[in-house]
Amino acid sequence: MIDRLDTRETESVPATGEAATTIRLETVVNGRPVSAEIEPRTLLLDFLRDRLGLTGAKRSCDVQVCGVCTVLLDGKPVSACSTLAYEAHGREVLTIEGLARFGELHPIQQAFMERTAIQCGFCTPGMILTTKALLDENPRPTREEIAAYLGGNLCRCTGYWMIIEAVEHAARLMAGEEDRS
Amino acid sequence: MSTLSHRPASTEPMGAAQGNGAQGLVGLSAPRVDARAKATGEAKYAGDLQIPGLAYGKVLRSPYAHARIVRIDASRAQALPGVIAVLTGDDVLDINPYYGHAIKDRPLIAIDRVRFVGEPVAAVAAEDPQTAAEALELIEVEYEELPAAITLDAALAEDAPRLHVTELLKPGLFHGLGELKPQPGNICYHHAFARGDVEEAFAKADIVVEGEYHFPAVYQYSMEPHTTIAQWGDGEITVWSSCQHPFLVRAEIADLFGLPVANVRIVVPYLGGGFGSKSYTKLEPLTVALARKARRPVRIANTVDEAMVTTRRHGMKAWMRTAASADGRLLAREVRCWFDTGAYADNGPRVVATGADAAPGPYRWEAVKVDSWGVYTNTSPAGSYRAFGATHLQWIGEAQVDEIARRCGLDALQIRERNLLRPGEAVRPGGKPLDADLIGDIQKVAAALDWGTPKPANVGRGLSVGLLAAGAHPVSTAFARLEADGTATLYVSSTEVGQGVRTVFSQILATELALPVERVRVQGGDTLVTPYDRSTGASRSTTLAGLAVQRAGQELRAKLLEIAARVFGLPEEAIELRDGAAWHEGESISYPDLIRAHFGMVGGELIGRGEVRPEKGTGSYAEGPVFWEVCIGGAEVEVDPDTGKVTVRKAVSVADVGKAINPRLVKAQEMGGWLQGLGNALFEEMIYDEQTGQILNATLFDYHVPTIADLPASFVSTIVENEDGPGPYGAKGVGEGALAGATAAIVTALYDAGVRVTELPATPERVWRWLRERDSAAAGGAQSARE
C-alpha cells in the first residue's frame, strides 16, 4: 500500500497536453507503486490504457454493463470505464497483466486456456479477474453462485458454458486437486 | 436460476497432440494457439495499437433521419487548440467518394444530404480524444429536414420519399449476384425464383397455412466496437482495422482513392468478435480520408451506440403460405419477403438472396415461388449478421410445417422424416445439390429432446431444420515456409475473429507436414504479406482457406519427399514423413538436415503454395453454394401463462460438419451460436422511433444481449461427421447453423406449448398477448392450438 511506497521505484508519469488543473494520484498497479499527475476527470480505464500502456482492460459498453474493462481494486472487481482514476488513490489495482508471476500463469488463466473458455478474447481479461475475486471470496462456488457472480461480464462468443466449466476447473486447480474431468 | 447441466465435452481427445503422419492432428481438440496471449492480456486489438504521431478521430453524426445539409461551419472547431483537421463532404470532392461492395450508393461522409440518424457529417482529428470530442460541439450544421421513411411500410408506400436515384447507382466491386438491375422507388434489390405451378398446387391442396410475419433489426454486438487506424503518405495507405475481409477493404480503398491495390496495405490484428458486423468496408474510408487531410495517422474507434448505427441485422416483413395434402405431403410454398436494408445497401443484396434461398426450407416441393426484396429506409444501414437469411426465414417456414403436421395428425418429427430432402436431391434449380443427411440429423435432435416422452404443462418441444447457402465466393490462397530449423510459418489472410481459425489451420499444416503443432506458427492477416483470401465469413474459412492451407502443406510435403528420396537414394514411396523427419525403416533424417542437404548450408527455406478457385463455372452465387450449411436445432421451453415469460429448459444442437478438425472448437461454435439464437428469438430488437428514426435502445442498458443468467438449463450438442464436405478431410463449415436452428427451434417449441409466434422477438408481452388470443379464440368455439 501507499505507506509502504518505495519512492526509488515509483514510476513518475508525465501529464499530457495542457492540463488545466491536475491532481496527484498515488496508487499501486500490479504490485508496483505509481505516482502521476492526472486531470480529475480521468477515468481509471484511460489511465491504465493510455498512460500506463496496460491495454489488457478493454473498452466496450462505457456504462458498466459488459465487464470487459474489469480490474480489481483492493481485490474487488470494478468497471474501470466508470471509475475515476483518483478512486484508486491509496489503493491497489490489479490488471490482467499483473496476474501471471514471472511468466507462470495463474491457475485461472490456465483453466480458461484448458477449457476453451476463450474465443475472441475481448471479455477474457475481465472474466478472469472477476473469477479471481469470486474464488478468493468463495473457493468452491456452485454453478448458481458462479452464474450470479459473473452476471456483470458479458461474452458474445462462447455461450458461457465453457466459461463455467473453466471456473470450476480453476477452483479445483487452486485447491491443489488433480483435475482430469 | 435452474441447475446447469451441460454435458462437458471431456470425452474428446485433448492436449498436446503430436503430428503423426496424415490425419495425425485432425479430429483432435488441440489447444487454441492464441489462448495464452488472450489469457494474459498480451493479445493486441486495433484499439491497443500505438503508432508514432497517432491522432484521435471523432465523428459528428446526423441527428436527422433525412435532411438536406444547408451549411456546415467548422471554423470554430478548426481553431480549437489541439485540433489537427476537420473533414466535411467538401474535402472529398476531388475523388469519387461513393463506395459499397454491392452497390456504390454511400458517400464516405455525407455530401449535401443525410439519410439516417447517425450518418457521419463531419470528422475531427485532434491530439487527444477529449479535444476531438470538444471540437465536435463547435461544428455548426444547418439542416433542412426532409420527409423520412423509417419503416418498411413507409418506404414501400406509393408516395414514399425516395432515398436514392436508384437508376443512377453503380454496382460495386463484389456483389457476385449477376446483373444488378435498377429498381423502382426505394427497392434496392430484388431476387426471385420459381419452379412448378404454384397456383395449381395450392388449388389441389387439402391444407393451406398462411400468415404475415415480422423479424426485428438486431445488433450484432461484437464486444470490440469497430476500430480503424489509417496512415496516409507518399502514395501509400496503411490501415490497421478490425475487419473480417481485408482484401475486399483493400480493393474498395484503392478504388476510392485512385491507387493500385499494391499501394494499399490492410493489417488485421486480433478481432474482438465480428459475427458479420466487421465484414466488408465500415470505418475505413472515413478514417483514410481524415488521415489524408490531417497528414497524420488517425484512429477512429466506435462507441457502442456508434457501432449500432454502423451496421445491424436486417429487419424483415414476410408473407408465406404452404400447401400440403391431407396425409402430410408438403406440396408447395410461396413467399414474399421485404428486407429493411436501411439507408445504404451494404451487404443487403446478398442477404436478400440468401433469405430467398432459405425460404422454401429443405423439403421436396412440387412448386415453389419466392420473391425477396431489399428496401431502402431512413434508418442505419443493415449488413451481415451470423446466419443471415436463414435466421430470418427458417422460424416462419418451420412453424408452418408444424401447423400442417397438427392438422393432418402427424407429429413434428414424422412430417419432417416424410418430406425432408435426401442427399443428392436438388435444393434449388441449377445450384449445388444437398450434401447432408438431414433426416439423420433431425432424428438426433429428437433423441436428445427425449422426443415423444410425457412433458409437464406449459412445456413445449420443438425441432427445426434449414439450409444456409455458405462459403461465399470460393477463392482462397495460402503459402507456408518450412524454415531451416524445421519450424513452419503459415501465411493466410483469414481473420482470427475468435472462431479459432489459426488453431485449425495450424492443425492442418502440422498434419500435412507431420510436424508437432507447436512448431507451426500462423501469421495474421496483412495484405502486404499474407496472400489473397476472399473473406472471413459465410462459414468458409476451414472449408476454403483450410483447403488452400492443406494444398500448401501438400506442396511442401512433396518437396520434402523429393529431397529425402535424393538424400536416401531411394524412391519416394519407400520414405515416410513422421515427427518432423523423413524415415526409411529404422533410419531417419530430420527436416533441418534435409534442408541443409538441399541448400548446402545452414539456411534456406522451402515454400509451399495452395490455391482454391471455382472447380467449374465462375463461382457465382447462382452456381453455388460451396456447401449447404445445416441449420438445425431443438429446444424445450416453458411458458409462464401469467406473465408470458419464456424459459428455455433444454438446448440441442447438431453440428453436421463433415469432419470436425477440432471437435472442441466445433462445440464452442455451436454453444455460442445457440445463445445468440436465443437472444434473437426472445429479446433482441433494435427499436427505432417511427417518426424521428432515432434508436430508442442504443445502450447495453436498454438493448439486452444474453447474459450468463439466460443460459438454458442444459445443452446437448452432437457432432455428425459424414465426411461429405468440400473442405480438407471432408470438412464443411460451422458457426452459423446453430443460430438459425436455435431461433427456429424456440419458435416451434413455443408452437408446441400453444403459442403462435408471428413476430420476433417473442417478448413476454407478445407471448402473453398471443396466449390471450388463443384462449379467446378457443372460447369462441374455434379449434384451439394443440396443448
Query: Closest partner residue to B664 among A54, A55, A116, by Cβ?
Result: A116
The reply to whether A173 touches chain B by the CB within 8 Å rule is: no
Does residue B176 surpass a pLDDT of 60? yes
Top pLDDT among B617 and B738 is at: B738
Burial of B776 (C-beta count, 10 Å sphere; 0-12/13-18/19+):
exposed
Pairing of strands B264-267, B459-470: unpaired
pLDDT in tens, B739-786: 999 999 999 999 999 999 999 999 999 999 999 998 998 887 544 433
3-state secondary structure B537-565: CCCCHHHHHHHHHHHHHHHHHHHHHHHHH
Helices in B218-358 by DSSP H: which ranges?
246-257, 284-294, 304-308, 348-358
Query: Closest partner residue to A66 among B8, B223, B664, by Cβ?
Result: B223
Q: Which residues of B touch A18 (CB under 8 A)?
A: 81
B742's grid cell: 436455435
What is the Cα–Cα distance from B3 to B671, expressed in whole angstroms?
17
pTM for this prediction: 0.95
The reply to whether A62 touches chain B by the CB within 8 Å rule is: yes
What is the Cα–Cα distance from B586 to B99, expressed in whole angstroms?
62
pLDDT in tens, B649-664: 999 999 999 999 999 9
Q: What is the torsion angle, in degrees rounded to the nearest 10, for the CA atoms of residue B425, residue B428, residue B432 and residue B438?
A: -50
CA dihedral (B719, B725, B730, B734) positive or negative: negative
pLDDT in tens, A50-64: 999 999 999 999 999
| Predicted pLDDT at B158 | 96
Question: What domains does chain B contain, in order, with CATH numbers?
Answer: 47-146+220-308 (3.90.1170.50), 315-472+620-779 (3.30.365.10), 475-612 (3.30.365.10)
Does residue B15 surpass a pLDDT of 50? no
| Predicted pLDDT at A13 | 55
- ipTM of model over 0.90: yes
| Confidence category of residue B428, pLDDT binned at 50, 70, 90 | confident
Top pLDDT among B623 and B492 is at: B492
What is the Cα–Cα distance from B110 to B107, expressed in whole angstroms?
6
Does residue B16 surpass a pLDDT of 50? no
Query: HSE-up of A54 (CA within 13 Å, CB side)?
Result: 24
Query: Closest partner residue to A68 among B81, B223, B706, by Cβ?
Result: B223
What is the Cα–Cα distance from B355 to B191, expressed in whole angstroms?
9
| Predicted pLDDT at A5 | 39
Asked if B703 contacts B234 with a C-beta cutoff of 8 angstroms, the reply is no
Q: Chain B closest CA to A99's CA: distance in Å? A: 8
Per the listing, cell 481524415 goes with B290
| Confidence category of residue B14, pLDDT binned at 50, 70, 90 | very low
Positions of chain A with pLDDT under 70: 1-20, 179-181
Asked if B424 contacts B434 with a C-beta cutoff of 8 angstroms, the reply is yes
| Predicted pLDDT at A181 | 57
pLDDT in tens, B295-309: 999 999 999 999 999
The reply to whether A28 touches chain B by the CB within 8 Å rule is: no
How many other C-beta atoms lie within 10 A of the C-beta of residue A21? 7
Average per-residue pLDDT in chain B?
A: 94
The reply to whether B38 touches chain A by the CB within 8 Å rule is: yes
Distances (CA, A) of A34 to A77, A100, B352, B470: 20, 19, 55, 52
| Predicted pLDDT at A18 | 52
Q: Chain A closest CA to B194's CA: distance in Å? A: 38
Q: Which of residues 225-284 of B touch A (CB under 8 A)?
A: 225, 270-275
pLDDT in tens, B389-400: 999 999 999 999
Beta bridge partners, B238, equal B231, B265
**B10–A181: do the CB atoms touch at under 8 Å?**
yes
Mutate to test the interface with B, among A79, A115, A118 (most CBs of B within 10 A): A118
pLDDT in tens, B548-569: 999 999 999 999 999 999 999 9
Does residue B18 surpass a pLDDT of 70? no
What is the amino acid identity at position B608? Answer: G
pLDDT in tens, B253-268: 999 999 999 999 999 9
- Helix/strand/coil for B398: helix
Does residue B630 surpass a pLDDT of 80? yes
| Predicted pLDDT at B619 | 79
Does residue B538 surpass a pLDDT of 70? yes
- Per-residue pLDDT, averaged over B50-60, amounts to 97
**B40–A56: do the CB atoms touch at under 8 Å?**
yes
- Per-residue pLDDT, averaged over B518-539, amounts to 96
Query: Closest partner residue to A159 among B14, B273, B674, by Cβ?
Result: B674
pLDDT in tens, B429-473: 888 999 999 999 999 999 999 999 999 999 999 999 999 999 999
What is the Cα–Cα distance from B350 to B172, expressed in whole angstroms?
12
- Per-residue pLDDT, averaged over B273-300, amounts to 98
DSSP B483-540: ETTS-EEEE-----SSS-HHHHHHHHHHHHHT--GGGEEEEPPBTTTS--B--S-TT-
Lowest mean pLDDT among B175-184, B518-527, B718-727: B175-184
Question: What domains does chain A contain, in order, with CATH numbers?
Answer: 2-98 (3.10.20.30), 107-174 (1.10.150.120)
% chain B with pLDDT above 70: 96
Lowest mean pLDDT among B40-49, B75-84, B174-183, B727-736: B174-183
A14's grid cell: 508525465
Asked if B133 contacts B58 with a C-beta cutoff of 8 angstroms, the reply is yes
The reply to whether B709 touches chain A by the CB within 8 Å rule is: yes
Q: Which residues of B touch A164 (CB under 8 A)?
A: 4, 6, 708
- Per-residue pLDDT, averaged over B9-22, amounts to 39
